Amino acid sequence: MNFDHPPPPREPLPVTSAQILDGKALANRLQDELKQEVYEWTQQTGQRPGLAVILVGSEPASTVYVRNKRKAAHAVGIADQLIELPAEITQAELVAHVDRLNADPQVHGILVQLPLPRHIDGELVLRRIRPEKDADGFHPMNMGLLALGTPKLVPCTPLGVRELLIRESIPTKGKTAVVMGRSNIVGKPMALLLMAKGPGGDATVTIAHTSSVDLPGICREADILVVAAGQPEIVKGSWIKPGAVVIDVGIHRLADGSLCGDVDFAEASQVASAITPVPGGVGPLTIAMLLRNTFEAARAIVHSAR
């Protein structure tokens, strides 16, 4: 994920042997491509893709994420609107906002920024979003379609990782992939994409999680290691098979203000053949895929109405 002002690195990183997979540069390229497509579509249809972002409360990290998403949407020609709601909002009031956006023909993508306050049933809110407008791809219908191998809107972070693997020509077919983390947002959909047929897929996939025995040993099997564990620098160099490709989905702010991922970058970059940095790796790709999903949703909705 993006932070506005990344602080300087904590200490000079050692000379790395791994290729650094520049997610920020790829995200910029993807956004340039999308901008052109949006422009042409708008010329043809007279419509602009529309994204509505709901932010409940004022958690600082969420506020920064939402700002970055809106800025990126605006830059590619997507009309964005922010619905800022107080943390004390009731479940019924929040659902009413989702219903209103579901019915709004100018809105093609709806995103409810997570986490939600504890008194809100997040599952219920996400299920209320019309699957056709589910820019995050979290609705059970979209998760189900992904599991069945007929995806429509796919969660943005795994989609970004797959795009990175494809665009960097990293082979996945027949490779051993390990996904660390079993969340609905990253781990599960990531594993489904890696095992799906086609580009960026066809891998043999293991999902490792907090109850797995011998995490280092499982990780060492991986040709492609995707880490979404939510623990700062948990994956050490000794956990990585020499020459593996390492994708770090984590981002954490340490006490000294610096950022790190779930992977110990200094160690891992000595062992891996390619690795994503934090920041500037997976985070910007998540945003690029959110914009792509919004545009795909707009196309499908406008096309089906014709």
Only segment of 89-97, 112-120, 168-176, 198-206 that touches ligand GUN (CB under 6 A): 112-120
Q: What angle do CA 257, 263, 267 make, to 5 degrees?
A: 100
DSSP assigned state of 9: P
- Of 162 and 241, the one with the shorter C-beta distance to ligand GUN is 162
- Of 187 and 218, the one with the shorter C-beta distance to ligand GUN is 187
Residues 140-159 that bind ligand GUN (CB under 6 A): 156-157
Residue 248 as a binder of ligand GUN (CB under 6 A): the answer is no
* Closest CB to ligand GUN: residue number: 114
Closest by CA to 277, choosing from 65, 16, 5, 36, is: 16
Alpha-carbon span 93 to 151, nearest angstrom:
31
Residue 101 as a binder of ligand GUN (CB under 6 A): the answer is no
The SS3 call for residue 209 is coil
Marked catalytic residue, from 69, 133, 175, 188: 69
Only segment of 35-43, 110-118, 244-252, 259-267 that touches ligand GUN (CB under 6 A): 110-118
Tokens of 253: 């702010």
- Of 135 and 272, the one with the shorter C-beta distance to ligand GUN is 135
Task: Candidates 113, 172, 269, 293: give the one binding ligand GUN (CB under 6 A).
Answer: 113
- Of 135 and 263, the one with the shorter C-beta distance to ligand GUN is 135
Instruction: Answer yes or no: are the C-beta atoms of 286 and 40 closer than 8 Å.
Output: no
Residue 111 as a binder of ligand GUN (CB under 6 A): the answer is yes
Smallest gap, in angstroms, from Cβ of residue 241 to ligand GUN?
28
Residue 72 as a binder of ligand GUN (CB under 6 A): the answer is no
Binding mask of the shown chain, residues 114 to 143, with x at each position contacting ligand GUN by CB under 6 A: x---------------------x-------
Alpha-carbon span 250 to 187, nearest angstrom:
12
- What percent of the residues of the chain are helix, what percent strand, and what percent coil, each to the nearest 5? 40, 15, 45
Alpha-carbon span 275 to 272, nearest angstrom:
7
Residue 54 as a binder of ligand GUN (CB under 6 A): the answer is no
Alpha-carbon span 216 to 269, nearest angstrom:
16
Concerning whether 113 is annotated as a catalytic residue, the answer is yes
End-to-end CA distance of the chain: 37
Alpha-carbon span 304 to 214, nearest angstrom:
50
Smallest gap, in angstroms, from Cβ of residue 108 to ligand GUN?
16
Smallest gap, in angstroms, from Cβ of residue 65 to ligand GUN?
6
Concerning whether 248 is annotated as a catalytic residue, the answer is no
Q: Say how many residues touch ligand GUN, by CB under 6 A.
A: 9
Alpha-carbon span 142 to 189, nearest angstrom:
10
Instruction: Answer yes or no: are the C-beta atoms of 125 and 97 closer than 8 Å.
Output: no
Marked catalytic residue, from 80, 134, 136, 264: 136
Marked catalytic residue, from 113, 188, 223, 248: 113
Alpha-carbon span 168 to 158, nearest angstrom:
15
Smallest gap, in angstroms, from Cβ of residue 97 to ligand GUN?
14
Concerning whether 104 is annotated as a catalytic residue, the answer is no
Amino acid occupying residue 251: I
Task: Candidates 34, 170, 185, 235: give the one binding ligand GUN (CB under 6 A).
Answer: 185
Q: Directed axis angle between helix 187-195 and helix 140-147, to 10°?
A: 30
- Chain residues that interact with ligand GUN, rule: CB under 6 A: 111-114, 136, 156-157, 185, 286
Which are the catalytic amino acids? 69, 113, 136
